[in-house]
Structure 1
Amino acid sequence: MSFHDQQFELRQQAILQAALELFRVKPWDRVTIAEVAVQAGIGKGTVYKHFPSKEALYAQLVINDSQANIAEFRALHARLPKHEAMRTVTRHAFAKLLDDPVMAQLFMHCDRPDFQKRLDPEFRQQFDALEHEYLAFFTSMLNDTLGNPGLSVEDYERLLWSADACFTGAMARVAAGGIGHLCGRDELDAYLDQVTDFIMAGLHGMAGQMLQTRVEGTCESC
Structure 2
Amino acid sequence: MRYQEHLFQQREGLLLAAARQLFQAQPWDRVTIAELAQQAGIGKGTVYKHFPSKEALYARLVLDRSQQHLQELREVARQAPAGQAMRQVIQRAFAQLLADPLQAQLCQLCDRPAFQARLEEDCRAQFITLEGQYLALFSELLQDSFADLALTPEAGQTLLWGIEACFNGVIARIASGGFAHWAEPIELEAYFARVTDFIIAGLHGQAAAQHRAPIPHE
Q: Provide the rounded CA distance (Å) in 2 between the counterparts of 1:14 and 1:82.
A: 42
Determine if contact 2:58/2:106 at 8 Å carries over to the other structure: yes
Q: Provide the rounded CA distance (Å) in 1 between the counterparts of 2:82 and 2:59.
A: 33
How far off is 1:148 after superposition? 4.5
Match of 1:100 in 2: 100
Structure 2: gaps (5+ residues): none
Higher mean C-alpha displacement, 45-54 vs 145-154:
145-154
Provide runs of 4+ in structure 1 moved above 6 Å.
Answer: none
TM-score (norm 2): 0.94
Q: Is it true that 1:189 corresponds to 2:208 in the alignment?
A: no
Q: Provide the rounded CA distance (Å) in 1 between the counterparts of 2:183 and 2:94.
A: 18
Root-mean-square deviation (CA, aligned residues, Å) is 1.5
AA matched with 1:40: A
Q: Provide the rounded CA distance (Å) in 2 between the counterparts of 1:127 and 1:91.
A: 23
Match of 2:72 in 1: 72
Q: Provide the rounded CA distance (Å) in 2 between the counterparts of 1:213 and 1:121.
A: 41
Determine if contact 2:97/2:103 at 8 Å carries over to the other structure: yes
Q: Provide the rounded CA distance (Å) in 1 between the counterparts of 2:191 and 2:184.
A: 9
CA deviation string 1:159-199 (max 9, x = no partner):
111111011112101111113426436x1100010011111
Match of 1:55 in 2: 55
Match of 2:12 in 1: 12
1:20-169, aligned counterparts within 5 Å?
Answer: 20-169=20-169
Q: Provide the rounded CA distance (Å) in 2 between the counterparts of 1:182 and 1:157.
A: 38
Determine if contact 1:85/1:141 at 8 Å carries over to the other structure: yes
Identity %: 50
Q: Provide the rounded CA distance (Å) in 1 between the counterparts of 2:184 and 2:83.
A: 31
Q: From the superposition, tell whether residues 69 and 148 of structure 1 become closer, same or farther in structure 2 (CA, over 3 Å).
A: farther
Determine if contact 2:155/2:214 at 8 Å carries over to the other structure: no
Q: Provide the rounded CA distance (Å) in 2 between the counterparts of 1:88 and 1:113.
A: 31
Decide which structure has greater helix share: 1
Determine if contact 1:139/1:160 at 8 Å carries over to the other structure: yes
Q: Provide the rounded CA distance (Å) in 1 between the counterparts of 2:121 and 2:30.
A: 25
TM-score (norm 1): 0.93
Q: Helix, strand or coil: the match of 2:214?
A: helix
Structure 1: gaps (5+ residues): 218-222
How far off is 1:150 after superposition? 1.0
Q: Provide the rounded CA distance (Å) in 2 between the counterparts of 1:206 and 1:183.
A: 32
AA matched with 2:182: H
Determine if contact 1:83/1:146 at 8 Å carries over to the other structure: no
Q: From the superposition, tell whether residues 47 and 148 of structure 1 become closer, same or farther in structure 2 (CA, over 3 Å).
A: farther
Match of 2:204 in 1: 204
Q: Helix, strand or coil: the match of 2:64?
A: helix
Q: From the superposition, tell whether residues 148 and 62 of structure 1 become closer, same or farther in structure 2 (CA, over 3 Å).
A: farther
AA matched with 2:39: Q
AA matched with 1:59: A
Q: Provide the rounded CA distance (Å) in 2 between the counterparts of 1:183 and 1:170.
A: 18
Q: Provide the rounded CA distance (Å) in 1 between the counterparts of 2:67 and 2:76.
A: 14
Determine if contact 2:149/2:208 at 8 Å carries over to the other structure: no
Q: Provide the rounded CA distance (Å) in 2 between the counterparts of 1:183 and 1:56.
A: 39
